[in-house]
Amino acid sequence: VICHPKYQESKRIAIFLSMPDEIQTEEIIKDIFKQGKECFIPRYKPHSNHMDMLKLSSAEDLSSLTLTSWNILQPSDDDSTREEALAGGGLDLIFMPGLGFDKKGNRVGRGKGYYDTYLERCMKHPSGKPYTIALAFTEQICESVPVAENDVQVDEILYEGC
């Protein structure tokens, strides 16, 4: 990930905070700050498919986040001090989680459509759609995964041995 050309050239990066069954992202987050890039993380709105990408001020800022009912760290609902990526300069790159992927770039998430809806919003931003990279375990790569009309394909899937 750290050596990937898209990562190297990106300045504004959104990345998920890992659940135990996902690729762990903490070291990537530390490197984003080490390289002087801007880091944005998801804040999911419960009972909807709305998600914002909010700016982290440092890797240590992770300790100020609250745990959701899904066991995911995110900025609290009343935290209005953080920049939302689309209210500013947009994003260059989004690292995406998922449960399953196929080699055509289709992805199965957890069923709420948060990333698909967010990417639709990105396409309306002046900076356009950011490059998307899914982070996966080899076991998550399938021959094909079910897709719906509003599913947005990822640009690239990184997994061991790809």
Binding site listing for ATP: 107-115
**Comparing C-alpha atoms, which of 101, 111, 88, 114 is closest to residue 16?**
114
**CA–CA separation, 83 vs 57, rounded Å?**
10
Q: What is the sign, positive or negative, of the torsion defined by CA atoms of 67, 79, 24, 104?
A: positive
Q: Reduced to 3 states, what is the DSSP secondary structure of residue 101?
A: strand
Binding residues for substrate: 17, 22
Binding residues: 17, 22, 107-115
**CA–CA separation, 4 vs 2, rounded Å?**
6
**CA–CA separation, 77 vs 35, rounded Å?**
29
One-character DSSP codes across 71-140? S-EE--TT--SSPBGGGTT--SEEEE--SEEETTS-EE-SSS-HHHHHHHHHHHSTT-PPEEEEE--GGG
